[in-house]
Amino acid sequence: MRAISNQRALRGNAVVKAVISRAVSSLITSPGLRQARRAAADLRRRMSGARAVVHYFHQDADPYSRLAAQALPQLADRYDIRIEAHRVSPPAPGAAPDPERLAAWAARDACRLAVAHGFDPEAPADDILEAFQASTDLAAGDALLERLGHYQGGMFHFDGEWFWGLDRLHYLERRLRASNLAREGAETALVAPPRDVMLAPAPPPRRTPVLHMFPSFRSPYTYIALPRAQALAQHYGAELRIRFVLPMVMRGLPVPRAKSRYITLDTKREAERLDMPFGRIVDPVGLGVERGLAVLHHAIPAGRGCDFALSFLQGAFAEGIDATTDAGLGRMVENAGLSTEIMTTALADESWRDVAEANRQEMLAAGLWGVPSFRVDDGEAVWGQDRLWAVEEDLRVAAAGEIT
């Protein structure tokens, strides 16, 4: 009787936790709350007569910061803002795990990003920072960064919102324009327009490339990347292979609270741009992820891998479905067009663990550690849903039969 009572208590706690998670995540990601905060900030600024301030946090050894700093003069010319630049230290290990792979990836990725936006990956930032009176007091910069709620350099902060490097600069510019801060007669083009999948007309593929995708079932970025990865594979006649891995936190790599919050809010605005639902969240970490990967392992050979992966991720991050329960996971299975029998069989099979570990080892061997990551055939791996435009470039070359 005591065991049954304990099980009921655990189920009850899980239900309460899921209800709270849905409510809190819906509030945090609420567009209405975001708009109210923006309106309040604009009103305070108008009433005080204060000039709008954009804080920029620069990390000297960071190639993304080197690119972001090059945008400062253009922002100052185009908008009626005061830019305050601050030097900061590298992020703590918890916020930037696997620093060696991170440094190697950042160096090559920043070069490709610079070319895409017409920036110079080798341009020194010192003269630019000096023009904006950037302090060399790292302790002061670190303290302000932490007080405002972030953990790394290359970041812009305006009225409570964060924007990372060139990739999110277009959101900052749109925010400034919405606040009527654009200078009259200033250049109207964005400093760094968003890059994304184009699906441009292409000749019939001469060969069938393989697009490897390394996803995690706890990654909101994986959720918003998967439909575009599917579209890319279909457009370029590629085979999409889902190489699932465990989430970082389940691999012993912690995710600090500030990082988790930023990822959630950043995914929300990206999901809005992509017209995808997001924000009613029940975190599947732990048992939910394990159960989901067990089903995915069986869904892939059944030809429903992508369908189930999208059903699971949308359920966890947009529909508030609790994957730790049979009813919740059953809904995800049903929405993917799978039978309850495959779910029963999958949950009794632990072989997915070996596959997830083999995929993780392959991802690490490719020089990456985080998700979503991608690789076309045996080419260079690419990390992040922000780089699907780069994946498309690689696919276009591979489909044409050229060497990547």
Residue 173: closest CA among 72, 43, 31, 278: 72
Same domain, 224 and 324: yes
Number of domains in the chain: 2
pLDDT at 254 over 70: yes
Determine, yes or no, domain membership for 217.
yes
Tell me what pLDDT residue 12 has: 58
Quote the mean pLDDT of the chain: 94
- What is the model's pLDDT at position 404? 47
Residues 246 and 113 in one domain: no
Q: Is residue 10 part of a domain?
A: no
Asked if the model's pLDDT at residue 7 lies above 70, the reply is: no
Whether 267 is in a domain gets the answer: yes
Instruction: For residues 304 and 356, state if they share a domain.
Output: yes
List Cβ<8 Å contacts ≥24 apart for 138-142: 138/87, 138/88, 138/89, 140/86, 141/57, 141/86, 141/87, 141/88, 141/89, 142/88, 142/89
Per-residue confidence (pLDDT) for residue 146, from 0 to 100: 96
pLDDT band at residue 11, thresholds of 50, 70 and 90? low
pLDDT digits (tens, 9 = 90+) for 40-79: 999 999 999 999 999 999 999 999 999 999 999 999 999 9
Domain, as residue range, for 304: 210-399
Q: What is the mean pLDDT of residues 189-211?
A: 94
φ, ψ of residue 241 in degrees (nearest 5): -110, 125
Residue 282 scores a pLDDT above 90: yes
Mean pLDDT of 359-379: 97
Is the predicted pLDDT of residue 344 greater than 60, yes or no?
A: yes
**Above 70 in pLDDT, residue 396?**
yes
Strand spans (E) along 206-261? 210-214, 239-242
CB neighbour burial string for 201-221, b if at least 16 within 10 angstroms, e if fewer: eeeebeeebbbbbbbbbbbbb
Q: Do 139 and 259 fall into the same domain?
A: no
> In this structure, are 169 and 124 located in the same domain?
yes
Q: What is the average pLDDT across 207-221? A: 97
Contact criterion met (CB below 8 Å) for 1 and 242: no
Q: Where does a domain end: 178, 198, 221?
A: 178
pLDDT, position 278: 98
Residue 200 forms part of a structural domain: no
* Same domain, residue pair 229 and 335: yes
**Averaged over 256-280, what is the pLDDT?**
96
CATH assignment at residue 102: 3.40.30.10
Same domain for 232 and 136: no
**Domain contains 1:** no
Same domain, 60 and 105: yes
Is residue 115 located within the same domain as residue 235?
no
How much of the chain, in percent, has pLDDT values that exceed 90?
A: 87
Q: Give the CA distances from residue 46 to residues 121, 145, 158, 195, 323, in Å, rounded to whole numbers and listed in that order.
A: 38, 25, 15, 34, 47
- Does 380 fall in a domain? yes
Tell me, yes or no, whether 126 and 215 share the same domain.
no
